[in-house]
Structure 1
Amino acid sequence: MEYSVGQVSGFAGVTVRTLHHYDKTGLLSPSARSAAGYRLYGDADLARLQQILFYRELGFSLEEIAAILEDPQANALDQLRARHRLLKEQIDKLHRLVKVAERAMEVQRTGVELTPEERFEVFGEVTFDLSYATAAHLKWQDSGGHQQAMARAAAHTKEDWARIMAEAAAWRHRLTTAFDEGAPADGDRAMDLAEEHRRHITRWFAPCPTDMHGRIADDFATDPRAFALVVPPSEQRPGLAPYLRTAVHANAVRHADRPSQPSPPSQSCRSAQPRTES
């Protein structure tokens, strides 16, 4: 039995344009023509179309499909096994991305239910870029420090965040002032600011050894979304992110040359501990 292009389009779920393209490229040429020159597809053509659609559904390109169908030496089983592995990898990645997106949404909320007005009151111009939060979580998800930081962040109250942001703003002002006044990035003044930032992270989120701090500072210098979390775009200067990275790494070297000493406890540190109602 023979079928017109319109009939094949209807029951195969493909457009007439697609069938014309398959014919033009030689992937599926109808085995007959009507007296008026119209394409007519036979049972063998439909079987081939079914194979084409099967491979297309699995993500094979038209060129790959043509090679499988036309080359009698082609090992379709090997091709399918390779595609199976790829699809499983993609599925696993999507599952991971779902979890990352869920965590990123928690980061976006910062663990505190705030109205837009309250959010601006607390965070000002500092915004949490969801795409960066997702990428950062993918990068650091296996780090115990990252997991602890996310848990601590989710536990902070609105009052905690107000204190965090006030500390950050004061530190940011001192950083930009040092930069504007030409203080060397590897000098004591800049290194002290780097150390202050490291202790801020430790106090409010998770222990931040100098090597971890260096990786964070590397992100500041290479990803504008990361640097915008510590210095809003309106306060940034060209070269400020590399300046901070240099100061952080210089501070790490300075610490490596000194015997370690425990940081003194602070009220901010105590405020981050679990509280009980009286």
Structure 2
Amino acid sequence: MPEAADADGLTVGQVSARLGVTVRALHHWDEIGLARPSLRTAAGYRLYTAGDLERLHRIVVYRETGLGLEGIRAVLDDSAADVAGALRAQRARVAERIDRLRQLGAGLDRMIDAHERGLLLTAEQQAAIFGPRWDPGSPARARQRYGDTTQWRQYAERSASRSPEEWQAVADAMAGLDRALGDAMDAGVTPGSPEADQLAERHREVFSSYFPLTRQMQVCLGRMFEADPGFAAHYDGIRPGLAAWFRRIVDAAARAHGIDPDTASWE
């Protein structure tokens, strides 16, 4: 390679500043033979000529289209290369990437809405799925009360990906469970019996559609269902006394798994 005085050509640093390319990238392109400087100083430092700079400009242009370095080499050095075809193929890849990014953006929007709103359903959809007695303001109140908890985050993650049809399946499962609880109470099923334990486990599984529910957490829910006027009214509206009976079967099932209901905590 010819030598040149330090004043001839552009140094790596100068080329880096002019093209907005890192010095590391210029060194790499030199090492792989993609863009080698034509000159060297007496001390062995790289110097780029006007012709070198023109090639580097072209490399930068094609790199901004997303072409890989070997693809760029082919475009620049292979006289038989189908440049337009290569660019069309790259455009197709870019279009696919844009579509994926749009889908990602839409998913992020739904996740944000779910964390802020809970249910991503209109008031009309909520009434159709959960019944006319459903209060569409309840998700906002739940967000205000529980929005900083792990369980709200888990609920939001499920809600973000759940369709109205999937919410309908959840609502149907909860309604079926409520009917089964009322029927069991009418039939005299006693807390601690196999039938009662099965119902407690069924409740835990169905309720886990909202967030994972441990047995200790279920005990805490049982307390709340009995003590909270809104929840108690729901269960006692199915059968008088059902809220208290449900708490008893949950407590008995917990004891069968070595959990003391009197000391159970939300964990």
TM-score normalized with structure 1 length: 0.48
Considering only CA atoms, is the larger Rg found in Structure 1 or Structure 2? 2
Query: Greater relative contact order (Cα 8 A, min sep 6): structure 1 or 2?
Result: 1
TM-score normalized with structure 2 length: 0.50
